[in-house]
Amino acid sequence: MKPAPFDYVAASSVDEAVALLANHGDDAKLIAGGQSLIPMLNFRLLQPDMLIDIGNIPDLQSISEATDSLLVGATVCHHMLLTSPLVRKHFPILCHAVSHVAHIAIRNRGTIGGSLSHADPAAELPMMMVLLDAELEIAGPTGSRSIDANTFFVGALTTVLEPDEMVVRIRLPFLPAGSGWEFQEVARRSGDFALAGAASILTATDGTVNTARVAVLGVDETPLRILAAEDALRGNAFDEAAVAQAARSVQEAVEPKSDLHGSADYRRHLIGVLTGRVLRSAWRRATGDDR
Amino acid sequence: MTEKKSVELSVNGRTYRRSIDPRILLSDFLREDLGLTGTHVGCEHGICGACTVLMNGASTRSCLCLALQADGADITTVEGLGDIDELDALQKKFREHHALQCGFCTPGMLMTITELISRDTDLSDDEIREALSGNLCRCTGYEHIVQATRAALDERRS
């Protein structure tokens, strides 16, 4: 349970980190909080020749407000997301979701960029980025590019990032006024990876659903937006029939796997129940006093 | 062989400077290089919480942190709380409430709770349990640990 030998360099800027990646490519790994990477090193599932530490690059550690969006640096840790007044003001759903990430000591170290790059299909932040229509700013040897979170995740622990690229910033477009939201997950124990989780953001006009977003985690190879469920809700009255239809759309869209903790059938059942719960709660926030 | 790197950090108020292999985990650095064996190593992949230390006041799994990542940091281990002749306030509550049996998880529990009560003293039992959920104890059933934490919080508030 000790890592295999590697070289270590602490990068002092994004340019330096990208240059090091360009030189070492596949043989190097970036490390920031290390809360996913170090377990894999300890188990020797990964044996990189070099670790490039981006945990002390000041540019990547801040949360700031632009005119239409919130900008979150890649090495902002979970605890900072959870306690940031800006995040609480614009994205209370994100605070709520992050409170489900592991435990205090992990949240003190683990970073948003690390969680997204690691791309665990049961992790909260990748799903939240998909739900929030986040844009990821990626730095690489030829400059920077921007990727929609919905095209960033391509499989379990797999993203479109090239070996010489890194996530530097996440742009979260502000939500429409009057958005109601909810996030819920079910895990065997507090802090464990969830068996399944769902989140929704709704806006209402005169008793009908104006805009709808639905996303799920833990029930497929990647976090997913469920467009069929969103289409079924949008423009229609919000009632139990609509909720049931949306939950069925989610159950039909996902391909959960069986493991030690739950069968595929159980997870499919669970995601239907969770979808109903988050929709009802998001609707209450969009229409009621508990906004 | 990889090149050794220099690390300088403060542990319990004392500054240490060493030249180390980059792969050395903070937990092993504390125990083997510095001889501070109060930090316990259980699962070595971030599940059990026994190796929890404070890094600049924030609880950290020392098995999920390279010693080099702690360069320049201020580390507090269980040796920095109190000693056998003069336990600190939280350690006294652990003794009074029988919050340990074998004691393996205790250093990690103490460090987690030390951070918790430094951040907030107005906590419900549910919030205490949630905060302790990352530290596994196989002996006590947790009840007495929650009681000791509650007592430490009450004392701190009054």
The string of pLDDT tens digits covering residues A208-256 is 999 999 999 999 999 999 999 999 999 999 999 999 999 999 999 999 9
Q: Give per-residue pLDDT as tens, B37-52.
A: 999 999 999 999 999 9
Percentage of chain A lying above the pLDDT 90 cut = 96
Measuring CA to CA, which residue among A226, A153, A217 is closest to residue A184? Answer: A217
Q: How far is CA B29 from CA A2, B13, B64, B65, B120, in A?
A: 12, 16, 12, 10, 31
The chain-wide mean pLDDT, for chain A, equals 96
A42:B45 CB<8 A: yes
pLDDT recorded at residue B9:
98
Percentage of chain A lying above the pLDDT 70 cut = 99
**Which chain A residue's Cα is nearest to B59?**
A105
- Asked whether A109 and B63 are in contact (CB, 8 A), the reply is no
A190:B2 CB<8 A: no
pLDDT-based confidence at B1, cuts 50/70/90?
low
Instruction: Give buried/exposed letters for A125-146 (b at 16+ CB in 10 A, else e).
Output: bbbbbbbbbbbbbbbbeeeeee
* Domain boundary assignment for chain A: 7-53, 65-173, 180-287
Of 3.30.470.20, 3.40.50.11540, 3.30.1280.10, 3.30.465.10, which CATH number belongs to A65-173?
3.30.465.10
A8:B5 CB<8 A: yes
A38:B112 CB<8 A: no
The domain defined by B5-80 carries CATH number 3.40.50.300: no
Q: Give per-residue pLDDT as tens, A130-171.
A: 999 999 999 999 999 999 999 999 999 999 999 999 999 999
DSSP states of B125-146: HHHHHHHGGGS--SSS-SHHHH
How many Cβ atoms are within 10 Å of A12's Cβ, its own excluded?
A: 13
Does A25 have pLDDT greater than 80? no
Q: Where are the beta strands (DSSP E) in chain B?
A: 5-11, 14-20, 52-55, 58-61, 74-76
pLDDT recorded at residue A26:
86
Rounded average pLDDT over B105-113: 98
pLDDT recorded at residue A198:
98
Of 3.30.750.24, 1.10.1060.10, 1.10.150.530, 1.10.150.120, which CATH number belongs to B89-157?
1.10.150.120
pLDDT recorded at residue A29:
97
Q: In chain B, which residues have their Cβ closer than 8 Å to the Cβ of A1?
A: 44-45
User: How many Å lie between the alpha carbon of A79 and the closest alpha carbon of chain B?
Assistant: 10
**Which chain B residue's Cα is nearest to A56?**
B69
B68:A38 CB<8 A: no
Which residues partner with B7 through β-bridges?
B18
Does A290 have pLDDT greater than 60? no
Q: In chain B, which residues have their Cβ closer than 8 Å to the Cβ of A7?
A: 2-3, 22
* Domain boundary assignment for chain B: 5-80, 89-157
Is this prediction's pTM over 0.90? Answer: yes
B64:A106 CB<8 A: yes
User: And the tokens for A91?
Assistant: 């994205």
Does the fold of domain A65-173 match that of domain A7-53?
A: no
Nearest to A34 among B55, B65, B71 (CB): B65
Nearest to B61 among A53, A106, A189 (CB): A106
Query: For residue A32, how far is the Cα from the chain centroid?
Result: 17
User: How far apart (Å, rounded) are the C-alpha atoms in residues A229 and A249?
Assistant: 5
B44:A42 CB<8 A: yes
User: And the tokens for B134?
Assistant: 């990352």
pLDDT recorded at residue A291:
46
User: How many Å lie between the alpha carbon of B125 and the closest alpha carbon of chain A?
Assistant: 15
Q: What are φ and ψ of residue B136, in 5° steps?
A: -90, 135
The chain-wide mean pLDDT, for chain B, equals 96
User: And the tokens for A180?
Assistant: 């109601």
User: How many Å lie between the alpha carbon of B157 and the closest alpha carbon of chain A?
Assistant: 22
Q: CATH assignment of A180-287?
A: 3.30.390.50
Q: In what helix (H) or strand (E) does residue A63 lie, and over which residues does it extend?
A: strand A63-65
The architecture that CATH gives domain A7-53 is 2-Layer Sandwich (3.30)
**Most B-contacting residue of A12, A27, A38 (CB-CB within 10 A), to test interface:** A38
**Which chain A residue's Cα is nearest to B57?**
A108
pLDDT recorded at residue B17:
98
This model of the complex carries an ipTM of 0.96
Q: Give per-residue pLDDT as tens, B117-155.
A: 999 889 999 999 999 999 999 999 999 999 999 999 999
User: How many Å lie between the alpha carbon of B78 and the closest alpha carbon of chain A?
Assistant: 15
Does B24 have pLDDT greater than 80? yes
pLDDT recorded at residue B68:
98
Q: In what helix (H) or strand (E) does residue A84 lie, and over which residues does it extend?
A: none
A31:B69 CB<8 A: yes
Does A289 have pLDDT greater than 80? no
DSSP states of A195-247: SEEEEEEEEEETTEEEEEEEEEESSSSS-EE-HHHHHHHTTSB-SHHHHHHHH
Is pLDDT larger for residue A189 or for residue B78?
B78
**Most B-contacting residue of A1, A6, A7, A8 (CB-CB within 10 A), to test interface:** A8
